Structure 1
Amino acid sequence: MNEKELEVLRIVEENARVDFNTLAKMVDLKEDEVKSILKKLEQNKVILNYSAVIDWSKVDISEPVTAMIDVKVAPKRGVGFDEVAERIYRFPEVKALYLMSGAYDLQVVIEGKTMHEIARFVSEKLSSIDSVLSTTTHFQLKKYKHDGVVFEEGEEDRRIVVTP
């Protein structure tokens, strides 16, 4: 991968909505060259998706419940963690899945409408997989920063400082 392709990747990762003309000027290439680079990166599955970061707390619907589930797994000979990971990431509730170091092997990020829905997922779907030995579920209470985007910048404290 050449330096211009890396430069395009970095810019698109920061702002996927940048138009071709602006992007071309930023990397000092022609618009057609930038389109060609992006097409190549998409075809080679370097760019997998373009997404938006949304603050659901500001939308007039009930905010989804997000949970991070740490999973201890008995790896299988010859396939390690890959086979059980594939079974887990196929569930539509699963938004992300990571192989981790430390006390747990996998971290599963899921979304549901309620905490009860997530509890059902853990007890009925995740825990029933043969290789899963144990789970620990953590519920997300508030989002401060996600994908480099800060939610609700803190307002300046305007209270008068009182000292003895």
Structure 2
Amino acid sequence: MKLTEKELEVVEILAKNARLPLETIAKMASLSIEETEQIVHKLEEEKVIVQYAAIVDWRKIDGHEGVTAMIDVKVTPKRGVGFDEVAERIYKFPEVKSVYLMSGAYDLSVVIEGRSMSEVAHFVSEKLSTLDSVISTTTHFILKKYKHDGTVFEQGDQDKRIVMSP
């Protein structure tokens, strides 16, 4: 889909902060509120804007820390459907948050979330690796998120003293 310059500008504004009021987006894009509303509606209808979501730092909520793992999956593609069919089977599991077709040593990258490492291990051994097309998996556990979708987590207390030298 080809977007106009103004439509692209609205997409970029929403990608940075989807909570901005329509009036603010209109001002930023030099559009009327009605024009902005029409553009946003069109983008939603055409599935250019798929969903509005919050980025949550779950480590700050007691009892909800959880475990995130990135799993490299090597698969045998099926004739006529390639990787799409196995990717669809994988993304239908509720634990799966993302599935990407990759270049390189592995075919798919799967991101899953669980309550514990053993829950993730159970998913890999009982659900993922038992699929017909799956040849091998390599699991990487995320130990700490520094930045996610452009949002920096915990910038830390930086020393704000002025450096003095003789």
Under a length normalisation based on structure 1, what TM-score does the superposition of the two structures give?
0.94
Matched AA of 1:52:
A
Q: State which of 88, 106, 109 in structure 1 corresponds to 2:108.
A: 106
CA distance in 2, matches of 1:127, 1:32: 51
Secondary structure at the counterpart of residue 32 of structure 1: helix
Matches within 5 A, 1:18-33: 18-33=20-35
Decide which of 25, 44, 47 is 1:45's aligned counterpart.
47
Mark the runs of 5 or more structure 2 residues left unpaired by the alignment: 162-166
Q: 1:34 — aligned with what?
A: 36
- Hey, what's the Cα distance between the residues in 2 that align with 1:156 and 1:45? 41
After superposition, give the CA deviation of every residue in 1:32-66 in whole Å (9 maximum; x if it has no partner): 11111111101100000001111111112230210
Aligned-pair CA distance for 1:94: 0.5
Distance in 2 between residues matched to 1:11 and 1:51, nearest whole Å: 15
Whole-angstrom CA distance in 2 between matches of 1:151 and 1:131: 37
- For structure 1, the residue ranges without an aligned partner over 5 or more in a row are 160-164
Per the alignment, residue 162 of structure 1 pairs with none
Instruction: Report the number of matched residues.
Output: 160
Q: Pick the aligned partner of 1:91 from 90, 93, 100.
A: 93
Do residues 78 (structure 1) and 55 (structure 2) align? Answer: no
Aligned partner of 1:79: which letter? V
CA distance in 1, matches of 2:156, 2:141: 23
Paired AA for residue 136 in structure 2: S
Moved more, 105-114 or 54-63: 54-63
The sequence identity of aligned pairs, in percent, is: 67
In the alignment, the residues of structure 1 paired with residue 118 and residue 51 of structure 2 have an alpha-carbon distance, to the nearest angstrom, of 30
2:67 alignment partner in structure 1:
65
| Distance (Å, rounded) in 1 between the aligned partners of 2:37 and 2:146 | 34
